[in-house]
Amino acid sequence: MIDDNGDYSPVIIIEEEAGYYQTDWNLGSDYTCVQDFINIRNTRLGLSQDEVDAIVISSLRNSVIQDNSFH
């Protein structure tokens, strides 16, 4: 997420759960540093990039289904 000042705050996504949880972490406005932070956190959780992508897709899919956008 990006706030009104252009600073990034990461969100937490749970596999197969629609939506996300906001954090109160302000990571600044340097996208490269933010991406490095997120990659380190996901690696510490034991997640590969393919697993992260699958988790995001599962959450998006369930958000769409929950919103009745697809039948």
Tens of pLDDT along 16-43?
Answer: 999 999 999 999 999 999 999 999 999 9
Q: How many structural domains does the chain have?
A: 1
Helices (H) and strands (E) in the chain, counts: 2, 2
Question: What mean pLDDT is predicted for residues 49-56?
Answer: 96
- Does residue 2 fall inside a structural domain? no
CA distance linking residue 13 with residue 43, whole number of Å? 15
User: Domain for residue 61, yes or no?
Assistant: yes
What pLDDT is attached to residue 68? 65
- Whether 3 maps to a domain, the answer reads no
Has residue 59 been placed in a domain? yes
CA dist 51 and 55 (Å) reads 6
The mean of the pLDDT values for the chain is 91
- Give the domain range for residue 37: 11-66
**pLDDT in the model for residue 64:** 78
- Residue 6 lies inside a defined structural domain of this protein: no
Question: Does residue 56 form part of some domain?
Answer: yes
pTM: 0.78
